[in-house]
Amino acid sequence: MKGFERPLIKTLIPGKKSLNLSKKLQNLECRNITFVAEDYPVFLEKSYMMNVWDVDGNRFVDLTSFFGVSFIGHNHPIVQKCLKSPDLINGLGDVLPSESKVTLLEELNDFAGGGYRGILGQNGADAVEAAIKTAFLYTGKPGIIAFEGGYHGLSFGALMTTYNSKFRDPFSVYLPAHTEYFSFPDGGEGSEMILEQIDKYMKMKDNVGLVLMELIQARGGVRIFPAEFVKGIAEICRKYRVVLAFDEIYTGLGRCGKPFCFEYYGVIPDILILGKALSSSFPISVMMGKEKIMEAWPTSTGEAIHTSTFLGHPLISKIAFEVVKYIRRNRLWENASEMGEYILKKLIPLREKYQNLVKDIRGKGLLIGIEIEGASVFDISRELLKRGYITLSSGLRGEVLELTPPVAITKKIVDEFVLVFEDVLKLWTSTRR
């Protein structure tokens, strides 16, 4: 069936056209952006549901949703339908808004349980920065608590909450020292100790206005916060009148087996940050704050103090509205839960079989991490690409092979991938002996 076909590799990877484009790109783009090597990357030409084709005609199976974005599937018919008959392409988002901006925010507010007001943006970092500004306006306190391994974006406001020093150090001279990073909790007594440290820090400093956390760190290596820790954080935030924000850019809108990941924890955030799957295709994000917190923003007198040219873009807002409606109508989080359990069931035996190579396999729904030791995950990912599967590495050291496939994934695709993945593990095991 079209869009669900197994890989078909016709050329060496990368093929001649991709190699030629690599050479051109190296002369045109900042050299820090795209990694280019003799055997990487391929250049993509088209996509549909689970399949992606490169410029050389090779067909791949995508297990990334392109950084978690294409949750409902690439080039989904719902998206195509919106693109075929756009009545309004662009607009004046904060001056003369479109109806689609209203219907999208209404749908998201209802989906999240009500009582929220939103600020739309173009990417995750936009929404994170809106959260930082909101927390400061509400509390008057600039201090932020974030966590080891957290990734919240690379624009300046978001960058001061992203943990990895390789992103922050080159620009540290511009970054205010408002963020305190705490260790990622491992559960039990470790969690209790970190909660005590945070409580003590808030009491001593009295300048913290925001706690920002991803309940499952995607780019941090698919690390899952323990339930008792999240509940403890919520209690501390209430105690000190600190805004609690959940960055669900990766985890929200069904990917992790529930509509929102916070539902696993029984904690409702003051601020909810969404993106990626929101349109399943185009750049859009939203920061949703509880009404009492959003009252801290002054009423517009004709000049917004936080806006951008494409805020509430009419066509993208329409697409996002239709995508969210589709996710809700079809309860796609249930598919994500079922298929996530199936993938884990197929993968976990490999942990025992290749225990010197596979350190751990973990995840919720369709956000799964395979932690590797003693081998380069990026090299493994490149080998999988040559065999027709698109995967990504994550983690602070790039030690985790991350799987975030579209929810349209089938058991047949999973079965075929696991066989190929095991073959790659055998290859790496044999080279280590």
Name the token pair of 373. 């030791």
pLDDT value, residue 254: 98
**Domain boundary assignment for the chain:** 16-25+34-76+332-432, 78-329
Task: Tally Cβ neighbours within 10 Å of residue 159.
Answer: 20
| Cα separations in angstroms, 91 against 83, 134, 240, 305, 307 | 16, 25, 41, 19, 13
- Per-residue buried b or exposed e for 29-66, using 16+ beta carbons within 10 Å of the residue's own CB: eeeeeeebeeebbbbeeebbbbbbbbbbebbbbbbbbb
| Residues 6 or more apart in contact with residue 304 via CB below 8 angstroms | 94
Query: Are 121 and 286 contacting, i.e. CB atoms less than 8 angstroms apart?
Result: yes
212-247 per-position pLDDT tens digit: 999 999 999 999 999 999 999 999 999 999 999 999
More confident residue, 14 or 87: 14
Query: Are 67 and 406 contacting, i.e. CB atoms less than 8 angstroms apart?
Result: no
388-418 per-position pLDDT tens digit: 999 999 999 999 999 999 999 999 999 999 9
Residue 129: name the closest of 312, 320, 307, 313 by CA: 307
Residue 76: name the closest of 48, 44, 104, 46 by CA: 48
Backbone angles phi and psi of 221, in degrees to 5: 110, 25
More confident residue, 392 or 87: 392
**Could you write out the DSSP letters of every residue in 225-246?**
--HHHHHHHHHHHHHHT-EEEE
pLDDT value, residue 432: 61
DSSP state of 264: G
Rounded average pLDDT over 189-203 = 95
Name the token pair of 35. 């990694």
Residue 387: name the closest of 6, 87, 123 by CA: 6
Query: Are 244 and 269 contacting, i.e. CB atoms less than 8 angstroms apart?
Result: yes
pLDDT value, residue 125: 97
Question: Is the pLDDT assigned to residue 433 strictly greater than 70?
Answer: no
Report the C-alpha gap between 386 and 371 in whole angstroms: 21
H runs (alpha helix) in 76-226: 77-84, 99-111, 124-139, 156-159, 165-168, 188-205
Domain 16-25+34-76+332-432 coded CATH 3.90.1150.10: yes
Q: What is the CATH number of domain 78-329?
A: 3.40.640.10
Name the token pair of 58. 């090779």
Residue 4: name the closest of 38, 64, 46, 47 by CA: 47
Question: Is the pLDDT assigned to residue 36 strictly greater than 80?
Answer: yes
CA 162 from centroid of its chain's CA atoms = 13
Task: Tally Cβ neighbours within 10 Å of residue 342.
Answer: 15
More confident residue, 159 or 189: 159
Task: Tally Cβ neighbours within 10 Å of residue 313.
Answer: 26
Rounded average pLDDT over 88-116 = 93
pLDDT value, residue 166: 94
| Cα separations in angstroms, 196 against 48, 171, 200 | 49, 32, 6
Query: Are 401 and 370 contacting, i.e. CB atoms less than 8 angstroms apart?
Result: yes
Report the C-alpha gap between 268 and 55 in whole angstroms: 45
Predicted TM-score of the model (pTM): 0.96
254-266 per-position pLDDT tens digit: 999 999 999 999 9
Name the token pair of 345. 């069931």
CA-only gyration radius of the chain, Å: 22
